[in-house]
Structure 1
Amino acid sequence: MNTRDAAIARAQASFDSGQFRDTLARRVAVPTESQNPERRPVLREYLEAEIRPSFEAMGFSCRLLEHPKAQAPFLFAERIESPQATTVLGYGHGDVIRGLDREWHEGLSPWQLTEAKGRWYGRGIADNKGQHTVNMEAMRNVIAARGKLGFNAKFLIEMGEETGSPGLRELCTEQRELLRADLLIASDGPRLRAERPTVFLGSRGSMNFDLTIEARAGGHHSGNWGGLISNPGIQLAHAIASIASPTGQIRIPEWVPRELPASVRRVLADCEVDGGSDGPEIEPAWGEPGLSPAERVFGWCSFEVLAFKTGNPETPVNAIPPRAWARCQLRFVVGVEPEQILPALRRHLDRNGLGMVRIATTRETFFNATRIDPDDEWVQWAVASLARTSGKKPAVLPNLGGSLPNDIFTDVLGLRTIWVPHSYAGCSQHAPNEHLPPELLREGLCVMTGLYWDLGSGETPAVKR
């Protein structure tokens, strides 16, 4: 029968038969480390030998898109069923962080899907091969049950997300017409809790920068010169202390939003942050006072010191160091003007007598903050679909706590963005022993099959082109 229930039953059967696992295992086995220059041929191979045939088997037309800034091509897949139908853009990335082969537990390998203690291990299972495999297989289930999708689908797979998505913004700008769609539905990042379906609507912005003090050419004996010349380590410590309180509250007004919108507060009131048994314990007194943990990480900004160096930490000597350096980061939400972040810091340091501190941007990728309104009718539609399939109340996050190139889709392509993640915070993403519980992937496959079925049912919000 070509019904919604039949499509979801097909998804369950394909998972339980081992078919889904075999597909994912084949993709995990391809060592697509984008941070390793030696793997560049492998990045193209993943698209041409693995992903392209899977899309073409579903009736998609595919082409590779090149851009000089990108170290590998992008795969664009398209299935247009009707000019009048809703068009949905999907996104995923096939590259992974370095495998770190020697650091995995005994019996585990980053390039072999292994089941142990009720988990599936392998590099890319959570980020992002498992997630785009869920979505691709969900569309295959809908086509098999209905004979068609019932909507137009476009999909973009990149191979450089782990190195900052070089060329993605430029490609989307140049190929705006090719990528034209009514909304983006994609999967990346973690659920709020492993057992709770989640929707997030954007991502926090991220800006990394360096603070440096260069006081003099070399070090000087602390007995002869202590009390006579400045210590850059002490000065830089005071600079950092002026930015955030002893409990992590940001002290630069331009670095935080004026308020939390009512719709954001409402959805976050139903969200409890939990990293699982492997996650750290939340410290109630850290961060912005008066906010819940969910509001602090999904609705507010955070300042972090990622590294700090002065003197010679490995072999300290009795000398006043000539310089000090810190790599810092601001995660920020909608309501903070990104072009004012560093000028506001400069003014703040100067007001506090810390003009000797130099500020420099880094080569690391900058992400802007994005968020669509949780009250948007497409958000409510997606949440209802997930609830219908899972029998659970999904969590709605206004944005991911981390950062994604979501501003490319919102600002360059002008799309609503709805992300349905199929991972969880304790998955060891970017670390050795990356894993997911198979029941999370199974539920993800079912809810995406239901979501894609509902997209083609004709009972969606009106498209505003």
Structure 2
Amino acid sequence: MSREISLKRAADYAESGALIRDLAKLVACPSVSQSEGLPESLEAYLRNDIGPLFEHYGFVTDIYKNPLPGGAPFLLGSHVEDEALPTVLMYGHGDVCNGEEHRWRDGLHPFELVEEGDRLYGRGTADNKIQHLINIVALGLLLRANGKLGFNVKFLLEMGEEKGSFGLREFVMANRDKLGADVFIGSDGPRLSPGTPTVFLGSRGTLEFEMVVPLRDRDYHSGNFGGLLADPAIILAHAIASITNARGRIRIPEWLPNSLTEDIRTALADLPPPLNDPHWGEPSLTPSERVFGWNSFSVLAMSSGSIGAPQSAISGVARAVGQLRFVVGTDMQDILPALRRHLDAHDFEMIEVSQIDEAFKATRLSPSHPWVRFVCNSIEKTVDKRPHVLPNLGGSLPNDLFADVLGLPTIWIPHSYAESGQHGPDEHALLSIACEAMKIMTGISLDIAEHATCAESGERLEWRPRYRDVGCS
């Protein structure tokens, strides 16, 4: 089948209503991994929805239990044509955040797909169900039409990403042989702007922690004891304020990276500026450098007393959850020790600090890597648009498992956009992006099959793209 026909078939899938039909089925499964969810819904998504979709297109599927107690299951879909051909490892996550139905506007429901113009509403539409659906179907349509792909595929689906990918590290380390590949290509996160494809090559790391000021085991009347008993909320507010200045500039030296080099600045120089407050963050950096090349501290939640029904009382305890997003060049092991030293130096010894969940490590692939040039030029060849290339995503993903544990070059091609409402109410995907993404992923598959070559690297053979054959310089 010609390239032109293959790309048209891919676009027709999105434009004919077939994508909406398939996505509606995926959204209807309440595969929530957070507090609102049920474990049986996570497995049902794999067994009843994604597994049959893979098998419909000729993939072999296996479902694995999480190696950690209480962890969510995994699915590995595979199509192996010939061990001598290149192998692509792909990834997605079928779990979603809490539905929070009460926060959605009238006429919308988190687990019912609603189409309004270009927008497809529903929990998981953007993050991440439409993204792995596109990648699966793009491969599947080629496989059914041609009887082959010209390369091998391994597709890993996890069901716990929204809870920190609990157990994924252990699963990947225990199954290195099953997951072995030549390159990793995944889809998650947003495009930098809706009308232009984005390629990102890693992700910022993230570490969340709780700060607690546990002064007393009960509250005391603010009239009788105000001015006599220390207020934990005021102490906590001053402690948080000491971490940054009034514009959010980080004051803990160990929390600052050393990796904003000239080549990274050059890669970020021509990007359209993301939504930003011009007087927030590191003043010496551009908006793109602040989010893709630097670290940021955020307060995710704070509590003391009851904001819904405040009482005239001094609380006994105050709590806050903080988060550091960090790039390569930050000592992840020293993030919390550095915070501890900082608090002690500012007379906040009474504040208790503890990590929440597993941290994501920061990763970054060089923009000059051959696979990056190959994919970017394949995208340009298919849709006549040069993609934005980011050294890493501003958000966080378990990319270090693919980059470091499996040792693969990692390429991410997102099919969402920043204003999609992911992790909040009214989450939605754009059908226009989905249509373009179907063509992009089909084109990349065709080019891998045609333009990859086996080359000797040290004592082993590895597959590399012949990027000059798709117009790369």
**TM-score normalized with structure 1 length:** 0.91
Question: What residue is the counterpart of 1:186 in the other structure?
Answer: 186
Work out the CA distance in 2 between the residues paired with 1:445 and 1:143: 14
Question: What residue is the counterpart of 2:87 in the other structure?
Answer: 87
The Cα shift of 1:355 comes to 2.3
The Cα shift of 1:32 comes to 1.8
Alignment of 1:302-341 (within 5 A): 302-311=296-305, 313-316=307-310, 319-341=313-335
SS in structure 1 of the partner of residue 61 of structure 2: strand
Counterpart AA for 2:297: F
RMSD of aligned C-alpha atoms?
2.3
The Cα shift of 1:78 comes to 1.3
Counterpart AA for 1:326: A
Q: Does 1:346 align with 2:336?
A: no
1:410 and 1:416 in contact (8 A); partners too: yes
Question: What residue is the counterpart of 2:155 in the other structure?
Answer: 155
Work out the CA distance in 1 between the residues paired with 2:226 and 2:24: 61
List per-residue Cα deviations over 1:7-66 (Å, max 9, x = no partner).
111112222222222222222222222236763333222222322232223332221112
Counterpart AA for 2:95: D
Pair 1:352–1:4, CA change in 2 (3 A): same
Work out the CA distance in 2 between the residues paired with 1:463 and 1:152: 19
The Cα shift of 1:179 comes to 0.6
Question: What residue is the counterpart of 1:300 in the other structure?
Answer: 294
Pair 1:344–1:71, CA change in 2 (3 A): closer
List per-residue Cα deviations over 1:58-91 (Å, max 9, x = no partner).
3322211122425443111111122221111011
Counterpart AA for 2:420: C
2:151 and 2:449 in contact (8 A); partners too: yes
Work out the CA distance in 1 between the residues paired with 2:93 and 2:314: 47
2:297 and 2:325 in contact (8 A); partners too: yes
List per-residue Cα deviations over 1:396-421 (Å, max 9, x = no partner).
11111111111222222222211100
Unmatched segments (≥5 aa) in structure 2: 463-473
Question: What residue is the counterpart of 2:364 in the other structure?
Answer: 371
The Cα shift of 1:229 comes to 5.1
Pair 1:9–1:338, CA change in 2 (3 A): same
Work out the CA distance in 2 between the residues paired with 1:461 and 1:264: 30
Alignment of 1:18-33 (within 5 A): 18-33=17-32
Pair 1:61–1:251, CA change in 2 (3 A): same
Report percent identity of matched pairs: 48
The Cα shift of 1:293 comes to 0.8
SS in structure 2 of the partner of residue 457 of structure 1: helix
SS in structure 2 of the partner of residue 365 of structure 1: strand
Question: What residue is the counterpart of 2:283 in the other structure?
Answer: 289
Alignment of 1:380-399 (within 5 A): 380-399=373-392
Question: What residue is the counterpart of 1:35 in the other structure?
Answer: 34
Q: Which stretch shifts more, 308-317 or 165-174?
A: 308-317
Question: What residue is the counterpart of 2:354 in the other structure?
Answer: 360
SS in structure 1 of the partner of residue 179 of structure 2: coil
1:378 and 1:461 in contact (8 A); partners too: no
Work out the CA distance in 1 between the residues paired with 2:147 and 2:336: 54
SS in structure 1 of the partner of residue 83 of structure 2: coil
Counterpart AA for 1:435: H
1:201 and 1:418 in contact (8 A); partners too: yes
Question: What residue is the counterpart of 2:59 in the other structure?
Answer: 60
2:57 and 2:141 in contact (8 A); partners too: no
Pair 1:217–1:25, CA change in 2 (3 A): closer
2:30 and 2:37 in contact (8 A); partners too: no
Question: What residue is the counterpart of 2:118 in the other structure?
Answer: 118
2:86 and 2:452 in contact (8 A); partners too: no
Work out the CA distance in 2 between the residues paired with 1:233 and 1:67: 40
2:58 and 2:140 in contact (8 A); partners too: no
Counterpart AA for 1:110: P
2:274 and 2:287 in contact (8 A); partners too: no
The Cα shift of 1:152 comes to 0.9
Work out the CA distance in 2 between the residues paired with 1:214 and 1:105: 38
SS in structure 1 of the partner of residue 441 of structure 2: helix
2:118 and 2:432 in contact (8 A); partners too: no
Question: What residue is the counterpart of 2:468 in the other structure?
Answer: none
Pair 1:331–1:38, CA change in 2 (3 A): closer
Q: Which stretch shifts more, 306-315 or 166-175?
A: 306-315
SS in structure 2 of the partner of residue 153 of structure 1: strand
Pair 1:330–1:463, CA change in 2 (3 A): farther
SS in structure 1 of the partner of residue 123 of structure 2: coil
Unmatched segments (≥5 aa) in structure 1: 276-281
Question: What residue is the counterpart of 1:74 in the other structure?
Answer: 74
Work out the CA distance in 2 between the residues paired with 1:234 and 1:18: 55
SS in structure 2 of the partner of residue 177 of structure 1: helix
List per-residue Cα deviations over 1:366-385 (Å, max 9, x = no partner).
21111111121111111111
Question: What residue is the counterpart of 1:200 in the other structure?
Answer: 200
Question: What residue is the counterpart of 2:467 in the other structure?
Answer: none
1:86 and 1:463 in contact (8 A); partners too: no
Counterpart AA for 2:4: D
List per-residue Cα deviations over 1:325-381 (Å, max 9, x = no partner).
22111111110011101111122222223323222222x332111111112111111
Q: Which stretch shifts more, 47-56 or 285-294?
A: 47-56
Alignment of 1:233-272 (within 5 A): 233-272=233-272
The Cα shift of 1:156 comes to 0.9
Work out the CA distance in 1 between the residues paired with 2:313 and 2:48: 59
